[in-house]
Structures are given as structure tokens and as C-alpha cells.
Amino acid sequence: MQYCEPERPCTLVIGPKNHRRWEISLNPGEDPKHAATPEETWRLLSRWITPEDGTLWRQSSYRFHALVAQQWRRGRVFLAGDAAHMQPPFLGQGMCQGIRDVSNLAWKLAAVLRGEVSGASAEALLDSYGDERKAHVRELTSRIKHVGAVICERDPVKARERDAAMLAQCGGVVKDTPRQDILPALTTGWLAPQEHAARGSLFPQPWLLSGPQRQRMDAIAGNGWRLVLAPGQAVPGGAGALPWLRCVALGTVGALETDGVAEAWLQRHQSVAALVRPDNYVYGVAGTTDEVAAMVSALATRLGVAAEACAA
């Protein structure tokens, strides 16, 4: 809950069970050390609770930063999490960014360590970690800073103009749901060369019927490379025999979708198939059957694995 009040912007986060977190701006002239004392903290919290209502777990004063490392890999050393970036507190993306880092890096390291990718292909795959995450973090950090600027406007006149504009955008009705998806897509790195609006986005996680049970796609197809095919789309020749690729043919036994989420996604992007990376980002999409086979073959070549050898 954001209190966008010019006199003292603040945030209230409803945590698990009875945990609550407040982020309260200090005004010019206020002593950060004094603000972190129990007495002053309770004074700042008096708008919401008193010492009879709860126990202080932790309080501190800090200045937040927006920092991104210039280099994410040097040989066998990789940076991730707080070692690679610092996020402003708005939207709570600090830990989320760290999870995205390791999700991106883990499957690439695993592919190299297992010998699935080697030589120049392995080096390019590992280098793509820093390329992808640095660009993604910089873009999201920029968006977070913009949100922070909206919340922390201190000029009363500009704050009233902001309020009027936001009310106008939602038709005069305050809504308690996000109005947009702030998470950017990947724009560089280990992606198909053909540009497409869906490329680099996160693929949905549909419910599929496998026998009598309804399970998430990952539970059925695993967490490796997946080729998700629209209903009625045949598996391209040889793709089903590739050991590093799982084919999910929607509408077939074991892949009957219950809510139509993935099918609607493919229709929205005018695609008959999506090639999904182990971290659930879309490597690329295909609009025709021929494009599906070509996309899989091109990826095999890029990974340094002969499609014929895999099929055999």
C-alpha cells in the first residue's frame, strides 16, 4: 500500500501471517540515527499501530541505490543477486531479480558441465547470461525508479497534478489491481534471430491433464527445452527424438489443456509453436509447420549438437 503524500511518502507491506513492514521517508533535517530508535520508530508508526499492538522486529535508516554491475562474468566467475545489482525498494524486485539471475545461469552452467554444449557454443551460452540479465535488470530498474518518482513526489502542486492524471486514466475509479505488467522481456542474448513480439517473453504455465490428474506443464514435460505445439500441429520430423527437447503437443493424450491458456497465447501471437527455454523464456515462435522444423534445426546447430546425431 503506497501513501503518495508529499509531506511524507511511505509504504505499508502486508507480509506473511502477522508481519508488517513500513518504509517511511525521512524529511530534511531529520536525523537518520534518531529515526531508527524504538521511540522515534513508534512515533512514526503511530498512524497505524502502537506498542500495545505489536513488537518491533527490526528498524534501520538507509539510502537506497540503483546500481548494475558492468561485467557479470570473468572466466569461471559469475556475479548474481546483490553482487550484480542493487534495486530501489519499490515493487519489491531485489530478491526477484536475484532469483531471475540464478534461474538464467543455472541451466546454462548445467548444460556446459554435463557436456551438452561445448567449445565455442558453450562460451557463447555462458556469455549470454550477463548480456541477458544486465539488459533486463537495467530496464526493470529504470521502470522501478519511475514508479519511485511517482510515489515520492514532494511538490504538492505536482502531486495534485499526478493524482488528477492517475484518476483520469482509470475513469475516476480507484482500482486495487495493477494496471500494467512492469516485467520487461529479454531483448538480447540466447534468443532466436527472428524478431517477434513473443520472443523473450515468459511462456505461460498451463494446467494439463495427464491421465486423471491435472498438473502444471513443467511437472509433465520437465524443465528442459520444450517445443509447445498448438492443437492439431504435428511434431516435426526428428524433433521428437532429440534427447534435449520435449515436445508438448497440446490437445493430445497427456497434454490436454484444461483452461486454454497456452492455446490462447499461441493464437494471440499467431503462432503454431513456441520453443521454450529451460528458464521458461520464449526462445522463438513459428507461424508455419516449416518454420517449426527450421527453428528447431537452427537451435541444434547453435547449441553445437547435430540434429541427425540426436535423432539417431
- The full DSSP string for 111-164 is HHHTTSS-HHHHHHHHHHHHHHHHHHHHHHHHHHHHHHHHHT---HHHHHHHHH
Q: How far apart are CA 268 and CA 134, in angstroms?
A: 29
Among residues of the chain, what percentage have pLDDT more than 90?
A: 74
pLDDT of the residue at 240: 65
pLDDT of residue 178 exceeding 70: no
CA distance 40 to 23: 14
Could you tell me how many residues make up the chain?
312
pLDDT in tens, 246-268: 999 999 888 899 899 999 999 99
Work out the percent of the chain whose per-residue pLDDT is above 70.
Answer: 95
Asked whether residue 68 carries a pLDDT value surpassing 80, the answer given is yes
Q: What is the pTM of this model?
A: 0.84
Query: Which of 32-46, 122-136, 174-188, 284-298 has the weakest average pLDDT?
Result: 174-188
Q: Is 27 exposed, middle or buried (0-12, 13-18, 19+ CB in 10 A)?
A: exposed
